[in-house]
Amino acid sequence: MTDQELLELFRQEEGKLKAFNALVEKYQQKVYWMVRKMLIDHDDTDDVTQEVFIKIWNGLENFRGDAQLYTWIYRIASNEAINFLNRKKRKAQVPLEDVQRVLEDQLETDPLVGGDEIQLKLQKALLRLPEKQRLVFNFKYFEDLTYEEIAEITGTSVGALKASYHWAVKKIEDYLNGED
């Protein structure tokens, strides 16, 4: 089903549940992995992904279609991931560096990251980025979204996104070259 067909079916009372189930099936893995790249931890990612789909269910009725459906979903997912990280930092009342260290430790023990040393090093480099730069890098590099799509998701100008991506790449290169 196309996104438009999903939306049309959702707007029919008898098709609401079927449309939502199809939407979950279509986007659940994409949302999970986008959030996972931000949170690292599987359980946290599961919780946030579930929250994302609850928000989608509650908001889909009012979705006007000003944006594409997937950009609207990614906006919800990225906001939820960032909000989760901020809550975790506040709750723990620890400096950012300590949160980063905990996430790095989780990376090293995570069986889904695998034993590929360069992949692990890239993920550690990503953890050193500010959240906004990490989000932009993930959308551009891993999700292969255009700057225009990312701008729609994040509500940020294309120029600012290009600058964020540029600085993210520079910081990652510095880290991978041992210049960190």
> Is domain 1-93 annotated with CATH 3.40.50.620?
no
Domain ranges in the chain are 1-93, 104-180
pLDDT tens readout for residues 95-147: 555 555 656 666 555 655 555 677 778 888 888 899 889 999 999 998 899 99
- The answer, yes or no, to whether residue 24 has pLDDT greater than 60, is yes
Q: State the DSSP string of 132-175.
A: HHHHHHIIIIIS---HHHHHHHHT--HHHHHHHHHHHHHHHHHH
Tell me how long the chain is.
Answer: 180
> Is domain 104-180 annotated with CATH 1.25.10.10?
no
Contacts of 39 (CB under 8 A, 6+ apart): 45, 48, 81, 84, 85
pTM of the model: 0.77
pLDDT tens readout for residues 86-97: 888 777 655 555
For 65: left if phi > 0, alpha if psi spans -120 to 50, otherwise beta; the answer is left
